[in-house]
Structure formats: structure tokens, C-alpha cells
Chains A and B, each alone.
Chain A
Amino acid sequence: MPKLTIDGKEIEVPSKTTIIQAAEKLGIVIPRYCYHPALPVSGNCRICMVEVEKQPKLQIACYTMVANGMIVKTNSPKVLEARKTVLEFLLVNHPLDCPVCDQAGECKLQDYYMEHGQYDSRLDDTKVKKEKKAFSIGPTVMLDQERCILCTRCVRFTDNITRTNEFGVFNRGDHSQLDVYPGKQLDNNYSGNVVDICPVGALTDKDFRFKCRVWYLDKTKSVCPGCSMGCNITVEWDKSRPHQDKKTRVMRLKPRVNPDVNDHWMCDTGRYDYHFIDKNRILTPQQGDNLISWDQAIDTMAQTIKPLKDSGHLNKIGILASAQLTNEDLFLIRKLFKDTLNGSQIDFRVPQSLGASDDFLLKADRNPNTAGADLILQPAEDADLRDIIQKARNGGLDILYVFGHDLVKLFGKNTVEEISKNVKLFIFQGSNVNETCGYAHLILPSAVYAEKDGTFINSQHRVQRIWPAFTPLGESKGDWEILSLLSAKIGAPISYPNSEEIFDDIASSLALFAEMSYEKIGDQGMMLWY
């Protein structure tokens, strides 16, 4: 294990570590453009140059392996001068587009210039103009070749991570330009990642284009609810300037580094599936077509459930829980309908055809918490939703309580119509309007994942935390809060001050969750005890 000194601090790292990685362990961030921890080293940008004692020239930190007794300086005058020079070269042909560039604010060129550059331009010639300014290179990404600094991160990403080889650098010298190969389009399912790794504004997101300036964004850690992979993400939202993007709150999703789950990446399916957070939402409880208050809604539910509870006809209650719910929500369903109203029929497994999947991040199961629902609700092995639906159609149920499932899409219009006729109280609780709402007797608005505090369990059986970014839209409430209100009305109160207490309760009552807490889960998740 070589031992080296970086900026006067000693550290021992495994051999075959580069200086940039060693410095990172010490908390020293060396500027970089072409270096990316998840990509092969290219060493073309030269901004990461550091001074290594007894070496006559500066070395690039991203490709120089550490050696025993090495003494590295990352902030010596020579290094700073080198950075300044590199920046000057990079900016020779870089257009002054910052006002119109979506990357402005999170652009490494801007950042390093403010930190190390700050020189007056010595350039007398006009900048090299490329033929086209910004143009589309695929369904999700725009390319601006003038802004490109040719770090080749995107080329290496498509070559090594997705292996789709769309990008290449063409021509030589100051004519060299980044482009997709002729006749090709950047249309793989991970194309959004090239925008994330691009250190400048050459590759920008079409979805985010001109929507909002990045410095307006607030960031909340979360987990992608798009599939059972549970990629770690950051929800980037803006509430203080509602005129941006027509009053929507969430502006974009970005992957969050978690080496055990998604590393640095996320798929486009998950990345662009956030519009439901602000659009097409159910905002108030409804009874048929009438808007009602929460009190009235809960009363209506309690009036139907209470007689069943008192008379013991609990098998007339059907619950269609969902694997989109958090563990906390599911735990309250379990407590209310399995423990208190023992005998109710609960299931969450949908007999739907699975979505597309690949061997990287996208999973066929499009629910984020199938594992959690399985563990907490523990339904019968070979049953699924169909049994309950069948019973409801035949009039065997007084109450059908649906959590977010679009039954029309799953079972067809006729079935749902029959259910609506034969079931006394058909409750739909969900965040967004769908066709099933039209048949439900009672519609309850619930919060979406970005408004909830809770945990998901992904397909690796890793418990991961989601944080609430903002308060629920309109009058919608978290699912467990609604259930808690209901439980109070039917005379079996289950009340918790917040979801953390619920999780503590889960941890103490389910063995697999033993000794877990929000604090221990943190932002990187925690595996279940097996």
C-alpha cells in the first residue's frame, strides 16, 4: 500500500489508485473535465494537472498512479498557472452563451473560471463558428458543438456503459467537433445521462430546455418510483417562482450516486416520468361528482365500515393495495385491515403484462415497492387481485378500497361498471385522475412519492428512503394519514405523529426490519436482514 502526501496531508491508498482518487479520499477536489469516476480515463483535458515533487513537469492527476513517498501539490502557483492556461485554451473557441445556456449555474467551465481563471481575454481572432448551432441529436438531447470542449465523456459513456457507440469526435485541430455518427441518433434508453456527465452546455436536455434556470432549483433526495430497481435520484423542483414552466413544481430528475444500486446513472424511462407529480392530479375528495370535505369523506367510509365491523362481516371488505405505496402506508393497511378488521381481503399483485426491461437498470416490474408490499402484507401465495375483483363483481363485497390502480385498464370497462353497481361503496384513493375515477363512489386524493416521507424496498431487498420535497398538492394527504383518520372514525384509532414513528414500529414488529431506523438507512439505503 503506497503512502503519499497530498497538500501536506498523508494518506495510504491501494496501489493502482490515481492521484485524483487519492485526493478525493482526503476531501481535496482537483478540477476535472474529462475524468469521470465511472468512465475509463482519457486524460485529454489537462485541467487536473498537479505538481509531483521531483518530476520536472506537471502530471495529470487522473492518470498518474500513486507511488510510495510521492509528494503532491494541488495548489502550488505552478498548478494554478497551468489551470489558468488550460482554461484560456478551452475558452478560445467557447462561445459566450451563458445567458442562453441551460448549463449555466452548474457548468464546470463557469465554476473553474470563477475559481482559477479570471483573466482578460488575449484573443484577437474571432472564435471558430460551427455550421450548426444547437440541434437535436435524438429524442431527448440537444447538441451545441460550439460549446463542446471535447472531453469525450459522452463518447466514452456510449462506448463503455451503454455500448451503443453513437458519439464520435470528427476532424482535426480546431475543426474537431463532437457529433453522432452519420445516420445514427442518440436514442438509447440511457441518453439522458450524457447531459449529466457533460461538464459544459454542449449536451442539454430537451425536456429541461429553457424551462427554468438551475439556480432556482431546490433539491430533494428521493428514489425513482419507475421500477423495482429503485435508482437513487434527486428531485429538482422550484416552487418560489411559479411562472416557470406553467406552475409545475418538479423541473427534472437527476440520478444520485449510489454505487450499490445505480452508480451514477438512471434510465430515460424513469428520468422523464415525473410529469404526473403536477399534472392531472386529484385535488379534493369527491363523492360522485360532488366535491366534499375530508370530514365528509371519512364519515362516508366509516358509516359503511362500522356496521360491518360491529356485525363481523369483515370478509365483505376488499382492499386493493398497491406496490406503489411506501412501507409506512402498507403497514397501516396491514394494521387497520389485517389486524383490526381481521378478515378483510387484501391483495396488491396486478396480473398485468410486464414492461420492457434490460440488463442494466430498467426492471420489468414497474412498481418501486413490490418487495416491501410482499413482506408487509404477506398475501396468500398464488392469489392475486383477480379473486377480489371477481368477488366484487358478484356482489360479494360491500366495500372495495382501491389504492391507485386503474381497474379499467386492467380488467376492462364492463367489469368496473359491474363493480360500481354491485359494491355498496367503491373507493378510489390515488394521486392522479384515471378512468376508474369515473366509476368510483368516493375519490380520495393522495400524495405522490415526492410529497411523502417513507421507505421503498427495491428488487435487491434494499430499504431506501424517500424525502418529501414539498407539501401535497391541493387537499391531498399521505395514504397513511387518510387511513389513520379512518381508523379514528371507526373506533380503532391508529395514530402516528410522522412516518418515522411508523417505521420504528415496523422495525420492532417485523424481524426482517430489525434495528432499522431512518437514521441508519440514510441516503444510501440498507439491506434487509436475511
Chain B
Amino acid sequence: MENPNEKRRQELEKYFDKKGPFVFLRVAQMKRAWQQKNRRELTWWESTYIPTVVSGIWLTSKHFFRNLTLHILHTVGLFKDIPASATYQYPEQPRPLAKRLRTRHRLMKREDGTPRCVACMMCETVCPARCIEITATEHPDPNVEKQPAEFILDLGKCVYCGFCVEVCPEDAIRMDTGKLDTSEYSRESMIYDKKRLMEE
């Protein structure tokens, strides 16, 4: 006779094995569902909370002493391959970015250095934050006809939705610079113009 709880456990373990950023959420969800299904009254001893308090402190203490020991060992140069923390030391040690991650924008160039953008204003139209402001002008080449006289992108307003990239008919704007940390001392310097966007 198959034990339903055992089956559930195996299912959970299957998810534990899978790698991915949101696996833990799903596991927590399934665990909660499992607990709700198998809900029961607490025994007297459990209802004093003492066992759970003790087990909780036991768990955190275990981590504390393990990490403390590792830190001390690291300072004398031992066991450097076992990490003592699960975090990234951000500015020095950036987190690897996913390939498809939307990061700061850049404007693509033609071979002659003029922007690939033809100022069709699709991105300006679709932008939900209204952070793009384009003014169009004549392009010297009549086969291109139109180009942006100015292309202003206010990163202070931008919500990084990526609609501008999606909608661009010329593949002129991309969000693949890998730069995420835009910090400036004034709002004005958050506003990127054509030149700055083409440098990226």
C-alpha cells in the first residue's frame, strides 16, 4: 500500500533537486499545502512552543558557529573553498546577469556612426513611463530620410519594462549593456541624451 505522504515527499524532493531561482518558492508552496492537508492539533508539549523555540535556536546557532568557524579558518588561510556566506559582495563581486536581463539602454549605430534610429517614435509612444523624448529631423541620406535630432531617455523615470526594445522596428535600441547601477547626484544627470546613449 502506497503511503500518500511518502509520495508527496518524493514529489517535494524532485523539486529540491531542480536548480533555479524560484524553486524554493514552489517548494514552500507545496510544503504549506502538504501541511494544510495534514493539519492536526498540537500536543501539550508542542503547544508550549519550547521544542520549536529550541529547534529554531539550534538551527540558527548551527549556522552561526559553522560560519564563525569558517571565517576564522579563512583568516588563517584554511578551507577557502568552502564559502562562509551565501551572499555576493556586490560592487567588487557582481552577480552574474542573465543573458536576457533588461539593463541600461544603448542606441545602435550605423556603419557611418549615425544612429540606427529613424525617430519613428514607436518607443516614445509605447513607453508606459513616458521617459523617452524624441525630436526628429531630416537625415542627409534620402534613403534613410529621418533621424533623431535628439533622443532623450530619462532613466529616473524609466521602469525597465523593455517595451521600447520590443517595439523598435529598426533594432536601434537595446537593453543589453549589463549596467544596472545607475546612480547620480542629480536628477538632471539621470537624463541620457543621444550622445550618451550611443556611447554605451
Q: Is B155 an interface residue (CB 8 A)?
A: no
Q: Residue-by-residue, is A200-237 near B (CB-CB < 8 Å gives 1, otherwise 0)?
A: 00000000011101011000000000000000000000
B125 partner residues in chain A, CB cutoff 8 A: 213, 215-216
Q: Is A413 an interface residue (CB 8 A)?
A: no
Q: Is A65 an interface residue (CB 8 A)?
A: no
A227–B24 alpha-carbon span in the complex (Å): 74
Cross-chain contact A241 with B124 (CB below 8 angstroms): yes
A209–B125 alpha-carbon span in the complex (Å): 18
A211–B170 alpha-carbon span in the complex (Å): 20
Cross-chain contact B169 with A243 (CB below 8 angstroms): no
Q: Residue-by-residue, is A129-147 near B (CB-CB < 8 Å gives 1, otherwise 0)?
A: 0001111000000000000
Q: Residue-by-residue, is A175-207 near B (CB-CB < 8 Å gives 1, otherwise 0)?
A: 000000000000000000000000000000000
Q: Is A495 an interface residue (CB 8 A)?
A: no
B121 partner residues in chain A, CB cutoff 8 A: 213, 216
Q: Is B52 an interface residue (CB 8 A)?
A: no
Question: With contacts A98-B169, A100-B118, A210-B138 known, is A243 near B133, CB below 8 A?
Answer: yes
Cross-chain contact A210 with B137 (CB below 8 angstroms): yes
Question: With contacts A98-B169, A243-B135, A244-B135 known, is A104 near B120, CB below 8 A?
Answer: yes
Cross-chain contact A133 with B136 (CB below 8 angstroms): no
Interface size on A, residues (CB 8 A): 18
Cross-chain contact B137 with A100 (CB below 8 angstroms): no
Q: Is A99 an interface residue (CB 8 A)?
A: yes
A287–B144 alpha-carbon span in the complex (Å): 52
Cross-chain contact A134 with B120 (CB below 8 angstroms): no
Cross-chain contact B136 with A210 (CB below 8 angstroms): yes
A99–B168 alpha-carbon span in the complex (Å): 9
A104 partner residues in chain B, CB cutoff 8 A: 120
Cross-chain contact B122 with A99 (CB below 8 angstroms): yes
A52 to chain B, nearest CB (A): 40
A210 partner residues in chain B, CB cutoff 8 A: 119, 136-138, 146
Cross-chain contact B120 with A100 (CB below 8 angstroms): yes
A284–B124 alpha-carbon span in the complex (Å): 34
Q: Residue-by-residue, is A106-146 near B (CB-CB < 8 Å gives 1, otherwise 0)?
A: 00000000000000000000000000111100000000000
Q: Is B152 an interface residue (CB 8 A)?
A: yes
Question: Which residue in chain A gives the minimum CB-CB distance to B135?
Answer: A243
B145 partner residues in chain A, CB cutoff 8 A: 97, 100, 133-134
Cross-chain contact B152 with A243 (CB below 8 angstroms): yes
A98–B118 alpha-carbon span in the complex (Å): 10
Q: Which of B135, B142, B150 has the most CB of A within 10 A?
A: B135
A133 partner residues in chain B, CB cutoff 8 A: 142-143, 145
Q: Which of A97, A98, A135, A210 has the most CB of B within 10 A?
A: A210
A210–B145 alpha-carbon span in the complex (Å): 10
Cross-chain contact A241 with B133 (CB below 8 angstroms): yes
Cross-chain contact B142 with A98 (CB below 8 angstroms): no
A241 to chain B, nearest CB (A): 7
B136 partner residues in chain A, CB cutoff 8 A: 210-211
A216 partner residues in chain B, CB cutoff 8 A: 121, 125
A243–B124 alpha-carbon span in the complex (Å): 11
Within residues 95 to 140 of chain B, which ones have a CB less than 8 A from any CB in chain A? 118-122, 124-125, 133-138
Cross-chain contact B169 with A99 (CB below 8 angstroms): yes
Q: Which 4 A-B pairs have the closest CB atoms?
A: A99-B120, A100-B146, A210-B136, A133-B142
> Can you offer 19 A-B residue contacts whose CB atoms are under 8 A?
A98-B120, A99-B118, A99-B122, A100-B118, A133-B142, A133-B143, A133-B145, A134-B145, A209-B138, A210-B138, A213-B120, A213-B121, A215-B125, A216-B125, A241-B124, A241-B133, A243-B134, A243-B135, A243-B150
